Amino acid sequence: MSDQTDAFDYETCLRDCAAQKQSALRALYQEEANRLMGVIFNIVRDRATAEDLIHDLFLRVWQKSHTFDPSRGTGRGWIYSIARHLALDSIRFSQRREPRDQSPDELPDTSDSHWCERVNTSHWGMHNDRVHDCIMALEPERRTCIYHAYVHGYTQGEISDLLGAPLGSVKSWIKRSLSALKECLA
Amino acid sequence: MTDQTDQAPLFELAGEYVLGSLPEDQRRAVIQRLETDEELASWVTYWENRLVPLCDAVTPMPVPDAVWTRISDSIAPDHASPAAQDTSTHSRDGWWYNLALWRGLTAAGFALALLMGIGLMLLQPQPTYMVVLASPDGHAPGWVVKASNHQTITLTALGQFEVPPGKALEFWTKADDWSGPVSLGLVQPGEQLLINLNELPPLEANQLFEITLEDASGSPIGRPTGPVEYIGRAVAL
């Protein structure tokens, strides 16, 4: 609980952004821009698009910070959720249908669960490792589906191509994963 | 509306939306449904809060300094209002920077526009449609669309919107049975726009209107590509 992300007060930062204090947005950018860039780039797979979306994201935080409601979640989670939805909307609704820059072959191997070891729930204001444990409790192929959807923004169809598994199986793995997670997190 | 997204349990649909695994049409359907379906919205929040630690799995990437310069240009007060530049003696806590004041004025403007809309409607015997376009989170009314007949509508801004450099706002509409939204052109914040719908089918109740953020010359593909800034549906009065 003592690493630097815990020291940054996201809720105060968003209040200051709502009061139009530019220094607060600047501080947020210094704290989070690189990590947000990683999250967005992994979904859009195009550097220029990801940079445009970082611009749009910080502008949105600046304009919408007054709508942030601390009773519904943490400030940091709110910012990352906006980032992911901007990136997902961009790949789903833009017509750039050509394959994204990086082919699946170059993607990190997710058959092991190293990626999941990096998940540290205390960064996100959570006081237990429930999310990590519940993800680890999923069967490996289901965990891989969750990873490819959440981190790369792949559709069910793309995951099915990637894993060479029938679309119906992927759909039901995702549905069952969500049910299992909901039960495990309850 | 009998597609399968309606039948899936809400927690599942919300989970797939947050995961990002939904294909284009289903994702669009969820976004539209979120405008009114509070239960779905609370499931979306549920999953957003619980899955967000997965972002830790991603390796950070450097962002060039030029990106901050662009952001900083976009949020500079003189970018939003060139008029304020001339009077640089304004202190930062002057009335111009008083957010509460502007919000109050926006709300008052919203109420006034609504009253005027209703007043207009009462004066005219023809069926009248009205749309209030609000931000997708529903917190800020941004524009009012008024139609005193089926073929002409006016779009009026209720407040200020800062358009980032190189971007523009594009106005769209779609009735329930159309295959996709139709562009009604680019709009300037603060400017009233009179739009002739001669080439479109007559306006109908529940018709969707939205304003998205697009590149300066508008969407290159004739369909919305950018984020929805304001959205609302026609109400017959």
What is the per-residue pLDDT across B88-126, written as a single tens digit (0 to 9) for each?
A: 344 445 566 677 777 777 878 778 887 777 776 666 545
pLDDT band at B128 (very low <50, low <70, confident <90, very high): confident
Range B200-225 average pLDDT: 84
Which B residues 147-176 touch A at CB under 8 Å? 162, 164
Angstrom distance (rounded) from CA A35 to CA A46: 16
CATH number of the CATH domain containing A64: 1.10.1740.10
Helix (H, G, I), strand (E, B) or coil at A29: helix
Q: Is residue A99 part of a domain?
A: no
pLDDT at position B207: 87
Q: Give the domain-ending residue among A93, A114, A130.
A: A93
Q: Give the domain-ending residue among A60, A93, A126.
A: A93
Range A47-69 average pLDDT: 94
Q: Is residue A161 part of a domain?
A: yes
Contacts of B118 (CB under 8 A, 6+ apart): B237
pLDDT at position B65: 92
Q: Is A35 in Cβ contact with B55 (below 8 Å)?
A: yes
- Convert the pLDDT of each residue in A70-88 to its tens digit: 999 999 999 999 999 999 9
Angstrom distance (rounded) from CA B184 to CA B212: 11
Same domain, A115 and A89: no
CATH number of the CATH domain containing A114: 1.10.10.10
Same domain, A59 and A114: no
Angstrom distance (rounded) from CA A116 to CA A151: 11
| pTM (2 d.p.) | 0.61
Among A122, A182, A183, the strongest candidate for a mutation testing the B interface, having the largest count of B CBs within 10 A, is A182
Report whether pLDDT(A55) > 80.
yes
Which amino acid is present at B225? T
Mean residue pLDDT across chain A: 86
Domain boundaries, chain B: 4-57, 65-97, 109-236
Q: Is residue A30 part of a domain?
A: yes
Among A59, A101, A126, A179, the strongest candidate for a mutation testing the B interface, having the largest count of B CBs within 10 A, is A59
Range list of H helices, chain A: 4-7, 10-18, 22-44, 47-64, 75-93, 114-117, 130-136, 140-152, 156-163, 167-185
Same domain, A16 and A89: yes
Q: What percent of chain A has pLDDT above 70? A: 87
A154: distance to nearest CA of chain B, Å? Answer: 6
Chain B within 8 Å of A17 (Cβ-Cβ)?
Answer: no
Q: Is residue A136 part of a domain?
A: yes
Same domain, A8 and A84: yes
Range A40-55 average pLDDT: 94
Q: What percent of chain B has pLDDT above 70? A: 82
pLDDT at position A95: 58
Q: Is residue A144 part of a domain?
A: yes
Same domain, A109 and A135: yes
Report whether pLDDT(A100) > 70.
no
Q: Report the Cα B12 to chain-centroid distance in Å.
A: 26
**A185 chain-B contacts, CB cut-off 8 A:** 50
The CATH number for B109-236, chosen from 2.30.30, 2.60.40, 1.10.287, 1.20.58, is 2.60.40
Same domain, A13 and A80: yes
Q: Nearest by CB to A58, which of B20, B71, B135?
A: B71
Report whether pLDDT(B179) > 80.
no
Report whether pLDDT(B127) > 70.
no
Same domain, A38 and A68: yes
Angstrom distance (rounded) from CA B204 to CA A121: 49
Report whether pLDDT(A96) > 60.
no
Same domain, A112 and A142: yes
Q: Is residue A117 part of a domain?
A: yes
Number of domains in chain A: 2
- Convert the pLDDT of each residue in A127-177 to its tens digit: 777 888 899 899 988 999 999 999 999 999 999 998 899 999 999 999 999
Q: Is residue A98 part of a domain?
A: no
- Convert the pLDDT of each residue in B129-149 to its tens digit: 888 888 877 677 788 888 766
**B49 chain-A contacts, CB cut-off 8 A:** 72-74, 77
Chain A within 8 Å of B65 (Cβ-Cβ)?
Answer: no
Lowest mean pLDDT among B3-17, B31-45, B207-221: B3-17
**A61 chain-B contacts, CB cut-off 8 A:** none
Q: Which domain holds residue A113?
A: 104-185
Q: In the structure encoding, which two tokens stand for residue B88, read together?
A: 């640089």
Q: Give the domain-ending residue among A93, A128, A144.
A: A93
Same domain, A83 and A130: no
pLDDT at position B192: 77
Q: Is residue A83 part of a domain?
A: yes
Report whether pLDDT(B46) > 90.
yes
Angstrom distance (rounded) from CA A23 to CA A12: 12
pLDDT band at B224 (very low <50, low <70, confident <90, very high): confident
